[in-house]
A and B are shown apart, each in its own frame.
Chain A
Amino acid sequence: MFIIVAGGGTVGYHLTKELLAEGHEVVLLEKDPKVAARIAEELGPIVLARDACEGRWLAEAGVVRADVVIAVTGDDEDNLIICQMAKFTSSTPVRTIARVKNPKNEWVLRQLGVDATVSSTAIIKQLVEQEIPQYAMAHLATLREAGLEFVEFHIAGDSPSAGRRVGDLQLPAGTNLILVLRDNTPIYPDRDTILRGGDTVIALLRTEAEQAVRRALVGEAQFYEVPR
């Protein structure tokens, strides 16, 4: 693949090296000439000391035959403009990926035409939820295009769903409880399954219904007591 990376900070530098090592053709655009020169010393003439926010430099970098443009500067607004400029400048379709610092901007940038976004804040938070099992709720995976999420819930003895039939829970339409892990044994729940404290429930739900499902299963709790 031919990939244009915009932004030669720590992320852009290491990303470029990784992509080159995998055999991709890469051009790196970095607007600070000193930073660009330092990277060019190591990686060669694939580095252009140009501002990727300007269409003419994206054109010079070869955006018309690029498969992907990845904007990884430190500013969300710059990354948005780079992705939009790439689409505007190129006469052929180009996929755009933007790094986002403020997790709220992931949604905003996709609304404004960026194909994919990456937020290190969101990724680290997801890992924290999964690695610290005391969290009442952890995101496992997101199917963005479909607006669906896999979420894991930890039911405590005093959770609103403990001791209740699945069929009696007030779950929003489109919510599927896929799996209950009880003492590490999988149970495929139906309407008559009764949830217990200590259960781990894996649900497939619509993104906008996340808070409603959470209230029904674990209430307002952020953390739950680890069962002994």
Chain B
Amino acid sequence: MYVIIVGCGRVGSALAMMLSQEGHEVTVIDINPAQFERFLGEDFTGNTIVGDGIDIDVLRQAEIERADAFVTATSGDNHNLMSAQIAQRIFKVPRVVARCNDPIRGATYEKLGLRMVIPTTIGAEYLRRAIMEEPAPPAQARGDSQPPADTPR
């Protein structure tokens, strides 16, 4: 798979390392080149591009037209939402996922057809389960913005 990741912070870089170790082709975009040095290990085999993830020319430079998946993982919710919508609605990337810390905003954009990952909700759920000494949610539910169906309310 060819995956483009916007944002090379802790989350974006960890995802980039995982995917590249699994043998996928990865391009990471970040406006700050120091992030690549800081967070990407020496064994990272993918590409890096210095640029803004909401700039269509930067996305074209990353060859977004042939991307199988597109992930926005910066800490800016609105930046992620705009970048993901450009990928989904303008460049028609088949799989687009956006990180959004605000659960309400995330829920809105999920209704508008964007696949969201809400780290705040997921983090809170993991913390709650740790306190209650319950097992972690099943693997397939981890990436979901909704809490797993078996969550006691």
Question: B-contacting residues of A (Cβ < 8 Å)?
Answer: 53-56, 75-78, 80-81, 84-85, 88, 102, 104-105, 108, 111-112
Contact = CB atoms under 8 A, between A and B. Distances in A.
> For the side of the interface on B, what is the size category?
20 to 34
Interface of B: 54-57, 76-79, 81-83, 85-86, 89-90, 102, 104-105, 108, 111-112
A108 B81 contact: no
Q: Nearest 3 A-B pairs (CB), nearest first? A: A77-B82, A77-B78, A81-B78
Contact of B104 (A54, A77, A80, A81): A54
Given A102-B55, A108-B56, A53 B78 contact: yes
A75 B79 CA distance: 9
Given A54-B105, A55-B108, A104 B78 contact: no
A90 to B, nearest CB: 13
Contacts of B76: 77
Contacts of B112: 84, 88
Q: Interface SS of chain B: helix, strand, loop or mixed?
A: helix
A77 B85 CA distance: 11
Nearest to A75: B78
A218 B112 CA distance: 46
Nearest to A76: B54
A30 B81 CA distance: 21
Contacts, number: 52
B108 A76 contact: no
Contacts of B54: 76-77, 105, 108
Contacts of A81: 77-78, 81-82, 105
B89 A85 contact: no
A104 B57 contact: yes
B105 to A, nearest CB: 7
Contacts of A108: 54, 56, 82, 86, 90
Contact of B108 (A75, A88, A102): A88
Contacts of B79: 77
Contacts of B102: 54
A50 to B, nearest CB: 14
Contacts of A53: 77-78, 105
A154 to B, nearest CB: 29
B89 A111 contact: yes
A66 to B, nearest CB: 18
A80 B105 contact: no
A63 to B, nearest CB: 14
Nearest to B82: A77
Given A75-B78, A80-B82, A104 B108 contact: no
Contacts of B89: 111-112
A112 B85 contact: yes
A26 B112 CA distance: 28
Contacts of A102: 55
Contacts of A76: 54, 82
B45 to A, nearest CB: 31
A160 to B, nearest CB: 29
Contacts of A54: 102, 104-105
